[in-house]
Amino acid sequence: MLHILGIRCELSGDEFSAGSLLVSNHVSWADICLIGSAFPVTFLAGSKIGKWPVLGWLMNKAGTLFIDRGRGAERASREVANLLATGNSVAIFPEGRTSDGKSVGKFHARLYQAATAANKNVQAVGIRYEDKLGNRVADVRWIVQPYVCNFGLV
């Protein structure tokens, strides 16, 4: 998918630690393809997305864990802890929405408890999209030209 979109990825930073809770900023829907291509993870998403035509079906087939935001956090935390405890990695976007990537918004921290309960690491991922000249691209929601995505484990 990244190749079709014309996105070239550059990964840097610490080594990936399997069985970790990956937390990342969220700039674009392409972030999911990016993280999924680099790390074997289960994604967490809001339950409304799971009901979307085509995309919801694809996400279900990929094993995405859907949660009811807010009121479903306790159940989701248990399910994430169970996945982590069995050596699976889980990726979350704790801002709960996309941003322009220039800064990080407020993190909704409830799901961090899952890593504590499973005695697993929390591994931060930072995503940044750039044009061919190395300038940060703030609006990559609808990708129509080649970009370089720099991302790395912190």
**pLDDT tops 50 at residue 10:** yes
| Residue 113, pLDDT score | 87
What band does 42 get if pLDDT is binned at 50, 70 and 90? very high
* pLDDT recorded at residue 87: 94
pLDDT digit string (tens) for 45-65?
888 888 888 888 888 888 898
| Residue 97 pLDDT greater than 70, yes or no | no
From residue 120, alpha-carbon distances to 42, 57, 103, 152 in Å are 15, 30, 27, 19
What confidence score (pLDDT) does residue 144 get? 42
Residue with tokens 């080649």: 146
Full-model pTM: 0.82
pLDDT tens digit string along 106-116? 766 777 889 99
Residue 145: pLDDT band by 50, 70, 90 thresholds? Answer: very low
83, part of any domain: yes
How many distinct structural domains can be found in the chain? 1
For residue 2, tell me if it sits in a domain.
no
Residue 150 lies in a domain: no
Report if residue 153 sits inside a domain: no
Q: What is the mean pLDDT of the chain?
A: 80
Question: 96: domain CATH number?
Answer: 3.40.1010.10
CA-wise closest residue to 146 among 1, 2, 6: 6
Query: To the nearest whole percent, how much of the chain has pLDDT over 70?
Result: 77
Boundaries of domain holding 24: 18-138
Residue 7 within any structural domain of the chain: no
**Does any domain span residue 9?**
no
Cβ contacts of 129 within 8 Å, gap of 6 or more: 7, 27, 28, 101, 136, 137, 140, 147, 148, 149, 150
SS3 45: strand
**Amino acid identity, position 84:** L
Is 147 among the domain residues?
Answer: no
